[in-house]
Each structure stands twice: as structure tokens, then as C-alpha cells.
Amino acid sequence: MFEEEDVKVISQQECLSKLQELKVEINRSWSADDRVTSLRLSIKVARLLTETSVIQFYPTLFILATDIMDLLGDLVWNRIKRKAEFTEEGGYICSLPDNFKESDICFDAKETCNNWFSKIGSVRELLPRIYLELAILPCWRFLDNHHEDVLQRLVMMTRGIADPLASAYCRLYLVQCAQRLPEHDTGFLITCINDIKLLLLRLTPAREAVDRDLSGTSEVLLTLIEPTIEYIMRCLFKDLREMEINDMLLALGMGINPSILSENCSCVSIILHYVLKELPIGFICCNALEILHLVECAKDSSFLQSLNFKLLGHRLCERVPEVSKVLLVVDKIFQVLSCYDNLDAYLMVADAYLDIILESHLGTSLNVILDGIFERVRDEKIGENELVILQSIFSKIVDHFANIEHILALNHFVDILDMMRGSSRNVISTQILSMAARNSQIRDPTVIEVLLEIAQALYDGLDFSNMRKDDYQHPSHVIARFVYMVDHGTQLESHLRFLAQCRGAFSSISELQEILVHSSNNLAIRAMRDGNSCNFIKSCLAFNEVTIPAIPSNLRQLNLYLETAEVALLGGFISHTDGLIDAAVNCLPNVDPVNGTRSTEDLSLLVSLLCKLCCMLVMVPGSLEHGVTRIPKHILSLIDSQSWILPRMKIRVLSSVVYLSAALSQNQLPYHAVSGQVISNYQLYFDVPSYHQELLSLSGVILQGLVNVVMQESSVAVRGKMALEASNCIASSFVMSDEALEACSKLMEIAKSCLSTGDKFLHSTLKVLYLKK
């Protein structure tokens, strides 16, 4: 390809290596003042651009070859510029400004410049001659202040290149080189586009003339030529004023004047595509209907017409309020949509104009689009690309409406959603549920039923075993939120059935299981308030007793067991209360930290729950068989055996047990259950000798425990405060026996050793103890 004529084929890698060698050799020859060799090698490089047999490689070849052309151009430019600024002997002539004129150039420099153009003009082959002249195109500035004729001549020369790929890329290089000139008009750019248009018309017959898409070769050619059109079009619009746009479109055969626009317009789809990309948005909005007609007229197969309709729709949606003749535009789009039997094209165009329809509040039009989608999804399988577009359409619809009832009332909305699958369906289902449960409660039974089906489909689409927690956390939260916001009003039985249905349907969402328990307890309280039957309340309690064990966190179980026990106690269901409290106590040994660590929030919650349990035990009848102190002893055993419970937290729990023991010692309890069916402990254990003995024994254990826990605190200041809190707890709860006084004395000694003598809390505690003696 480079030296011997019998060498016809070389690899692409060899070609690249050879080009790099040629570039080095051109530089070396130039440095050695061998301009002839540099030019000869440059011609050899330019000749490579006539080779288009491996068309996929041509863009790479073009980039590398034009890089060498640019190198030659820079070398020639610098040589002529130096001749204009210095004599052969090195004498200074002048320094050329950036905006120099032809009149600033000396005769020798002009002579050298003319000589270079003459050498290049003598190159026999057309394509190398054009590339070489383009490489030194900026050098025309040394000879002439006006370059329009030069550009037009070069454009005319490119018409002699027969190969469409080489012809298009040659025009691309022409436009690139023209950008280096200080100024030029757009006439040559329009000519370039029109010439490329003629090439495309030969490559792409009208859509009606073929029963199938382009041949493979033509399609590849179009793909390779497309970047040249894009670049030239960008240059054409770069400095174009809006008042010139109509004239430019007319020159390109795209006049939008109704008197000129006809079915026979010479518009080519792929060129129109890049015109639509570059047109100012204000111009597009003002001439929306006319441009729609223009897209409709482009019937060649160089570019999918649906893609141009799509692009125009997206451009119009940038400024929907500015779109002129909106109703006529929408009517035209429906005419276009009716011509598409293909689902992909129908969805693509419908999605592009959907914002216009939604913002113009054209509800009937929206239903027409959904009808059209439903018709087509019944006839063909929804592909991955169609799913993405459907997701976009449904997302826009859900975002637009504020009321879930309006969305579900749209024609075939739910039917089409049911036909979707995978992540697209999951995203829309999540969006629907999030929107429905955002602010207000959901009360309509029909809406609840539909949303439950959507939630079930979303849940079934989540692979909990193979997904990261972050990936399914949001959908799970949305489902849980939906269940929480459902309200069947006075139909409590219906609501409980709904909760039971959700428990079975969403068994892997622990957050939702907790919500089910809270909701069931709420139903039980409402039933008590309304005087409903005991059977329904028992059903709620039984529902919770089955649901809570499925929750993985023992700490959450503990919380829910106590909450449900409160409800049972409020209703006077003692057997349920005892069972729930026993279940809560059984959770205690299992709430130890995972991997040796537990968050501060979890520790705080555990302490609060233990204190809450102590408060409840004041009202809950004890067991005659096991004694009244069975559960408090469990609590003491727990905090004594768990080293991860901090001393400052243990002191809170021990204080609660102290208060519990003091309350149970009273002949009349400070508070009791509302229900008359709950027997208080002072009634249950009336005249039972062992009752008070049990409490005294428990109190002795607690007193020693308080002192021991205080001593475990490492912080001196905190230890002193804890000692004072324990002393106040003992003083306010017990008659100051010798045992109590001894414990208080130890605690006060600790406090005095840890706190300053002026501490106010210390002084107030000393006064309390003095008064108790």
C-alpha cells in the first residue's frame, strides 16, 4: 500500500505503525531543510484516504492522516510567517499581529506561499491535492484577505470524489480547516450539506420504495457518515442569527413557510435530525406545527422518522408554555401515532410529547394514548427497550397527578402495568405506592385492593436472597408505608383481615411486620373505645401473638410484646397479658449485642423497655405459684450477667425495680388497671405471709446491687452522680432500716469522694437523708 504496488493488503495495526513512521520522517526531513521529501511523504499519507475497502477503519485512518496533514500545515505556516517577519540573513522586518492583512506581508513571503500552492496544485490525484491544499488553507491569508472564492472552489472540487465515504470525510476536513480562518460566510457550509444530501439520496431510497430497512453496507456507511453531518451542522449554526434561520432552512430544502412547504420537499431525515438538534428552542416552539410537517415530509430511510418525531417532542418539552398552536400540534401527533403499528415507535413518540399533553390538561388525549399502548402490547411481547419507555411514560403520569384515584381511573393503566415486568415495573410500582401513601390515608376499598395487588407484584419482584439491603430497602419501606396508611374506617374486621393478608404476602419485610402489630393494637383500642365485642379484641391479640415471633430482632419483639401486653391489660385479658409478658421476659436473654457491639439507641431502648416492664408489673397480678418477684429477679439476673450494659444504664433499671418493690409493698397501689376484671396484687396476696417476705428479700438484693453497680462506673464525676441518684431512690422508696442506712452511707461516701464539697446535688441529697433518719 505504501511502497510496492504488489503489496495490496496490510493489517490495520501495520497501517497505524506506518503512519506514525511517516509522521516522524516528515518532521525529520523538514528539520533537515528537505521540504521536497516532506511534501512527497505527505502526498503518500493523503493517498491513503482514497482507500475505503475496510470502511469501519476509515474514521481512525482519517484522524491519523489529518493529524499529519495538520502537521504539514503548521510547518508551512511557520516557515512563511518567519519569512514575513525576518530576512534570509535573520534581519528583523516586523512582528505580524494575529489579525494581520495581506498588505502586511513582504514579497519573499508571498513568493514562498505561492510556490507551496503551486507545488500542491501540481499533485495529479484529486483527493490528495484537496487534502494538501486544505492543510495549508490558512496560508491564503498571506495572499488574500478574502477567502470565500477559495472555499467555494474547494467545495466544488470535492464533488469530483466518487466514493461517498471519502467524499463526506473530505468535506469534514474542509470545514475543520475553514474554522481556522478569521472569518468566513456560511454559504460553503450549506453547499457541503446539500452535496452530502445528494450522496445520501443515492444511498437511501424512499421508505415506500423498500419493504425492509437499508442493506448492511448502506447502513454502515450512513453510521460512518453521520458524524460528518453533525459537525458541519454544528458549525453552520454556531454564529447564525435567528433572523437568518428561515433563509438557511430554505437553502437546505427545508423551508417551513406554509406556502413553500409541500409533500415534495427535498428534506433528508438524517440531516433534518441534526438541524432539529441545533435549532434554537424559541424558534422550534414558535414553528412547532410547521416543523412537524417537515418531519412528516422526510420519507427517506437514512434515519428513523420516529426518532425525529421523538427529538422534536423532547425539544418542545423544554419549554411547553411557549409552544404555539398546542391543540393543533397534539392533533398532528395523534395522526402520526395512528400510523405506527409498531409498539416501540408508538411508545417513543408518545413519550416524547407526553409532557405537552399533561401540562395542557388534555385528559382525553391521555386516555387515547393509553388505549393505543394497550392495543399494541396485546399483539407483541414487550421488549427491554419498550419497558424503559413505558417506565418513562408511567413515571410522568404518576408525577403529574396528585390523586391516586385519578391515576387508577385512566384507561388500561392497571392492565398495562400488569404486562410490565422486571425493574421497570418495580420502579413504577414503588412510585405509585409512594405517591398513594404520601400524605393522606387510603380509604377506598377498590383502591386498596388494586394497590395491594401492585404491592404484592413489587414484593414478588424483589429477590431478597440475592439483593443488597440498600437495593430492596426503599421498596420495602414504601410497601410498609402503604399498609400503614390504609384505613377501613369503622370496618374493623375488614382491616384486621387486610393485616392478616399482608402478613402472609410480605413475610420478609420486618419493618412491615412491626407495622402490622402496631395497627392491630390500634384496632383493638378502637374496638374497646367503641364497645365492640371481646372476640374481636382477642382476635387482634392472637394476631399479634402469631406475628411478633417472626420479627428477627429480639429487641423489637420485646417492645411489641410489651405494647400488646398493655393493650391486653387495658382490656382486662389477663391470660393474654401473662402470656405476652412471659414472652417478653423470654426475649431478654437473647437481646445481647451482635458481634459484640450495639448502638447507643438500642441500649437506650432496652433500658427504657425494662423500666416500662417494671411499671406494668405494678398493675399485673403476680403468680401465686411462682411468686410476685419472679420477673424482677429475671431483670436483675439479666443486667448482672450482661457486661455490655453500661453501669449508668444498669442504675436506671435497678432504680425501677426499687420503685416496683416499694409500690408492691403498699396496702393500696398508687395506680391500677382500668378494667375491673384485673385483680390488684394487694388484693391477690392479701394476708399471704410470704408476699412481704419476698419483697424484703428482693429489696436486700437490690440495695447491694446499687452499691456494686455504682462502683463499676469508670468516670469519677458520673460515679458521684450515680451514687446520689441511688441514694435518693432508696430514701424516697424505703423506710430507713439499718440495711437501707448502710447502703445509703456507702453511696454517700462514694459521692463525697467523687464530687466537690460545693456540689448542690450532694447537699440536697444529704438534707433528704438527714430528714429520713
- CA distances to 270, 322, 326, 333, 351 from 317, in Å: 21, 9, 11, 14, 11
The cell for 39 is 511534501
The cell for 190 is 450549506
Cα dihedral sign, 669-673-675-679:
negative
Residue indicated by cell numbers 408525577 = 399
* Cα gap 157→137, rounded to integer Å: 14
pLDDT score at 681: 58
* Cα gap 360→358, rounded to integer Å: 5
List, for residues 364-393, the tens digit of each pLDDT value.
Answer: 899 999 999 999 998 778 999 999 999 999
Q: What is the mean pLDDT of residues 116-143?
A: 94
**What residues are paired with 515 via a beta bridge?**
none
Higher pLDDT, 656 or 622: 656
* Cα gap 511→493, rounded to integer Å: 23
Q: What number of other Cβ atoms are within 10 A of residue 708's Cβ? A: 13
The pLDDT mean for the chain works out to 87
* Cα gap 671→578, rounded to integer Å: 19
Do 35 and 76 form a contact (C-beta atoms < 8 A)?
A: no
Q: For the chain, count helices (H), then strands (E).
A: 36, 0
List, for residues 674-689, the tens digit of each pLDDT value.
Answer: 655 666 655 555 556 6
pLDDT score at 26: 95
Do 743 and 756 form a contact (C-beta atoms < 8 A)?
A: no
The cell for 426 is 418495580
Of 622, 520, 623, 627, give the one whose Cα is nearest residue 563.
Answer: 520
* Cα gap 434→411, rounded to integer Å: 21
Helices 760-772 and 716-733, axial angle in degrees (round to 10): 30
> Residue 265's pLDDT band (boundaries 50, 70, 90)?
low
Percent of the chain at pLDDT above 90?
A: 52
Could you say which DSSP state residue 342 is in? S
Domain boundaries in the chain?
Answer: 12-184, 713-772
Question: What are the E-state strand segments in 335-445?
Answer: none
List, for residues 476-495, the tens digit of each pLDDT value.
Answer: 999 999 999 999 999 999 99
